[in-house]
Structure formats: C-alpha cells, structure tokens
Amino acid sequence: MKALWQRRKKWIIAGGVLLALALGLFLLPRFINQPAAIEAATVDAAAARAEVTVGDLVSEASAGGEIVAGRAAALALMTGGTIAEIPVEVGDAVRAGDVLLRLETAELERAVGQAEQARIAQEAALATLTAAPTAAQLASAEAAVRSAQVQLDDLLDGPSAAELAAAEADLRAAQADLGAASARLNSATAPADANALRAAQIALDTAQAAATSAAERHSTILVTEPNQFLDAETLATMEEQARAAAQQANADLAAAQQAYDDLANGQPSSVAASQASVASAAAQRDAAQAQFDLLQAGPSATDVAAARSSLAQAERQLEQLVSGPDEATRVSSEVAVEQARLREQWAARNLAEATLLAPFDGVITAVNARPGETAAGVVVEMIDPASLELLLHVDEVDIAQVSPGQAAVVTLETWPDAALPAEVLAIVPQPVTGSELVVYEVRLGLGETELALRAGMTADATLTTGELAGALLLPSEAIEVDRASGVYSVRRVTAGADGAETAEVVEVTVGRRSGGFTQITGGLEAGDVVLIGDSLPVESFIPGP
C-alpha cells in the first residue's frame, strides 16, 4: 500500500510540474510584450539610445554570376557537303563577312549552270511563243494546209485506171524478184560438216557464257553506290572497263553465232546475203500487193477520217500562227519560266550557303570540324568581345526590387579591388530550371574598363534597387516587433520638468530598410530619442522593397 502511494505521489508531482511549465509558457509572452510594464519607466543615464534623423535611404540587393557574351553565335551550314577549307582557328579575330568555312562546290556550281541554261531555254520558248510569225512561217503553214487538202481530195476521188495498171505491174515485178531470190538461196544452201558444226556450237556456247558474265559484272557495278572503299571516281573507271568488256563479249558472241549459222545453212559466204535478198524481195512483194489491194478496194472510212484530221490540224496550226497562242498556252509557258527561275535561285542559294561567313565582328571560340569531313551540326562558334555582360542569378525574394535601368557596382574574382559600373539591361521572365532555389537571370551591361574581361569570369554585383530622399531614419536595432501581431514599437525617451528621463512604448509604422537603418513612416518625429537594447533584431521582420 505504501509503495502504491509512493508511485502515485511521483505522478502527482510530475503532473504539477508540467502544469506549472505550461502555465508559465502561456503567460510569459504577455509579460514580455506588456507595454505597461515599461511605460513611464525611469531611464538609466548610461542606456544606449538613438535619435530619429532625416536622411537618404539607399536600398541595395546583391547577387553573383558570370561574364557572358551578349552576342554569341553557334554557326551551322544550311546545306550538307564535304568541307574543303576552314581558314580560321580558335582565338582568331574576324570581321563580319569573313569566310569561316567553305564546302567543296564543284557539284553546286554545275547545278547553278544547268539551272541557268534551263531558265534561258524556257525564256526563249516563251519569246518564240509570243513573237509575231514570220513570212516564212506563214508560207510553210499555208503550204501544209494545201498539201493536206490535196491528199484528202485524191483519196475521195479514188484511183484512176492508170494508177491501177501501174500498181498491178509493180506487184508482178515484185513477185518475179522474190522467185529469183528464193532460187539463189536454195542454190547457196548445202549440208554442213558434222565435226565443224559441233566445234562451232562449242564456240558459240563459250561466247554466250562470256557475254552473260560480262553483262552481269557491268550491271553489278552500275548499281554499286560509292562507299569508304570505292569512291565515285574509281567506280566510274570500273564501269567504263566493264562496259568495254561487255561490248567486246557481245561482238565475239555475234561472230560465233554468224560462224555457226554459216556452217548450219551451208555455203557460209553467200547464205546470209541470199537470205537477206529473199527477205527484202518478200517485203517488196507484200508492199506491192497491199498497195494494189488498197487501190482496188478504194478509200476506207478510216483513211478518209485520218485525211480530214490532218487537214483540220494543218488549218488549226495556221490559225494559231496568225492569231497567236491562246491564254492557257501563254500562261503555261510563263509558269515554266518562273519555275526555271526559282530553280536557278535555289541552286544559287545552295552555292552561297556552301560558304560560312562571320555574322559580326568577333573572336572564334570553337571549331568543331576539319577539312575532308562531312559538315553536320554546329561547326564554328564565336562571340563578340565588345558585348560582354554580367549574367546574374537573383533570388526570387529580391527580384521584385530589380528593374531595367537600375545602377549597379560589379566586382570580379580576378580583380577584387576593382569596381566596375554597370546597369540592369533585362530580366528573364522565366526562372532558371534545374535549380533547387527559384532564381531569375538578370543581364547587366558593363561600363567601359581597361580590364581584360573574359567570358566565364565570376563576379558579384550590388544593385541599387531604390533611393529614398528626406526619410525619417532610425537604426533597425532600436525597433522591437511583436511576432504574433506584427506590431512595431520603440521606447521613446522623454524628459520631465525636473530633468528626469523616462521611457514610454510608442507604436510605429515602418517602410524600407537598408544598411542597418529603417524608414519610420509614422509614430515618431525627427529629433526623437529612443532606447537601444534588450530588443529583438528587426531586420528579419521589417518588410521593404
């Protein structure tokens, strides 16, 4: 029972202690922030004090960054090709328009020449189309109409007796010639020797295989693209050699075929000529027969229609020559001229873009290619040293105080004792990505200096974010703040008639702060004296731009 009482006693004591602590924590701020506790309190003559003064308040913000080029270029070609020349190196100073890189231009120059010739041809065609016809052109067109009319009239009139007799005579003569040629062929044909014919067949097969092999090799080379092992010039040489070999193989095959045919048909020296004579005579006989049949049958509807069409076409050509081209034809020719001009401009632009020029005066900072390589991506990089700026990273807390045109002072890590005048040029509206803190890029223009500034140098800048003239100023350490209510107050010192000093709590309103001073906007007047000490720092709680 006694042990149980002892345990309960410990819990009661512990609970009482916790209750007392909680009550103390609850009441302590009230005693600390109770103005009545210090109102009209007697002031120790040795207490630190400060006077409210009238002065100028300059607001400042600081940030770090690095020197960058305001004008920089990463240059790439608009057209591809093999690099012929790079006349610059890293560190070279160049002027606007200087050549930085040049591609091989033989093919591009050829393309320009071809496009120019095509444009000239189209312009000539348009000029011819729209030019007035000459007397010779009119005479030729009129003659064509007369000729077509005569042909149609003859066709409609039909053949005369004399024409039929002549056609029949031609047919009989052609038949006689065919009979004579056939007799000569029969006499020239004789049985061939079996061994000689077998040898000729072997030679023919060999020649056929050689011709096939040569043709396949030539075809293979034709479809082969240039590569790292075979360039275009080597492939062209190989193609010429393969073509010559194929031609020779075909000639050998023809000779072997001729030799075999001569043996197979007998009397090789005259069989071919006799066969050709028979074929020619047969063709002449067939033509004579067709002509005779045609005259006997009279003109067909198809023949008459064709003759009428020829006459109509000749008349239409004469009419177009007299009246000039129609609107559609003229417009089509003009469009062809314009297309040719555009192709020429395109070819000329490709040729111009094969040369990379410096866009401004500057210094080369990187060369990313070599002669002989294929141009791809960024090949040359450069900056304008005269455009060096300071790129700051300003915290989001301070960015609202920064605006273009504000003055700043810059110090560099390289020359910490030198102060450079600067001015805010621009503020990037988007925050920097990839940063744990929210910061914004601010560009500062640097004043003239003899220092050898380089891109990439680190620097700090102090920006003048605001100036307030004729403000009531008080050291920030003399101001107390109630964190819970956000009320600012001071302990103002007053002297009685007997000369005794007392301190009373006065609520004040504050404005900007800078350099350890805070602007007083209400509650005090110039010359008022306040106590310093036993107060919390106000720097972290007083708002200001």
Q: Each residue of 347-391: pLDDT tens digit?
A: 999 999 999 999 999 999 999 999 999 988 999 999 988 888 889
Note the pTM of the prediction, 2 decimals.
Answer: 0.45
Q: What is the pLDDT of residue 26?
A: 46
**Residue ranges covered by each domain of the chain:** 37-101+384-533, 106-133+329-353, 135-158+301-323
CA–CA dist 523, 539 (Å, integer)? 19
Whole-angstrom Cα Rg for the chain: 54
Residue 94 CB neighbours (<10 A): 20
Rounded CA-CA distance 438/444 in Å is 19
Q: DSSP character for 477? A: G
Name the one residue in this structure whose structure tokens are 């040719």.
Answer: 340
The stretches in the chain having pLDDT less than 70 are 1-41, 184, 187-193, 265-271, 534-545
Q: What ranges make up the beta strands (E) of 384-500?
A: 388-395, 407-412, 420-431, 439-446, 458-475, 480-482, 487-495
Q: Under CATH, to which class is 37-101+384-533 assigned?
A: mainly beta
Q: Residue 248 in contact with residue 215, Cβ under 8 Å? A: no
User: Hey, what are 480's tokens?
Assistant: 């107390």
At 136 the pLDDT is 87
Bridge partners for 375 per DSSP: none
SS3 (DSSP) at 186: helix
pLDDT value of position 333 = 92
Question: What's the distance, Cα to Cα, between the start and end of the chain in Å?
Answer: 70
Distance of alpha carbon 500 from alpha carbon 165, whole angstroms: 163
| DSSP SS3 for 228 | coil
Sign of CA dihedral 179, 181, 183, 185: negative
Apex 418 CA angle, 462 and 395, nearest 5: 20
Q: Are 407 and 422 in contact (CB under 8 A)?
A: yes
**Residue 130, number of CB atoms within 10 A of its CB:** 13
Q: What are phi and psi of 456, to 5 degrees?
A: 100, -15
Distance CA 495, CA 497 (A): 7
Kind and range of the H or E run holding 504: strand 501-514
